[in-house]
Amino acid sequence: MQQTEYTVQTHEKKLKQQERRYFRAIITMAILYAIQFIILPLLLDAYFPGSSNEATAIFWASSCIVMIIGFWFVNQRLMSWFIADAIYLGLILLYSAEGAYGIGLRGITLDNMHTYFDRISVIFGALICLVEILIVQLSLKGIYCAANHLRHKPLK
């Protein structure tokens, strides 16, 4: 009887920890979304909307910085991040700042005279953003596992 009670309490504790990990990952991705699609387009309006090299660098830099902070200080488990990534994708599909980072822009961009915003193209652009985020997350997981392995490897 006591063993069963201990097992149930342990299981409930693990579920609460898992819920907290998911919640923290979702909050981190919501913060990343707010930075990338609300705050930065307001502060750096010279680069938005559009798909300039500067906007691409801003996207990558903000993604890397927030993901490094989130990965090391919030949660290292990829499953939590994958669920948060789905929510991040949904947020981009809901609002992507009308062409920020080139999301939803179609046409020739050589002279910026023939581009136009197409809501259908947002899906493709959002998926590209998601792939870029996944690349950052998988790279961080690889670095984390390698560092963890080296830390626990005995010196000869």
pLDDT tens digit string along 61-107?
Answer: 998 999 888 888 877 778 888 888 999 999 988 888 777 777 877 76
pLDDT tens digit string along 27-36?
Answer: 999 999 999 8
Alpha-carbon distance of 124 to 34, in angstroms, equals: 20
Q: How confident is the model at residue 49 (pLDDT cuts 50, 70, 90)?
A: low
Domain ranges of the chain: 50-147
Question: In the predicted model, what is the mean pLDDT of residues 46-66?
Answer: 80
pLDDT tens digit string along 122-139?
Answer: 888 889 889 999 999 899
Q: Please confirm whether the linkage preceding 41 is cis (ω < 30° from 0).
A: no
C-alpha angle 94/140/146, rounded to 5°? 160
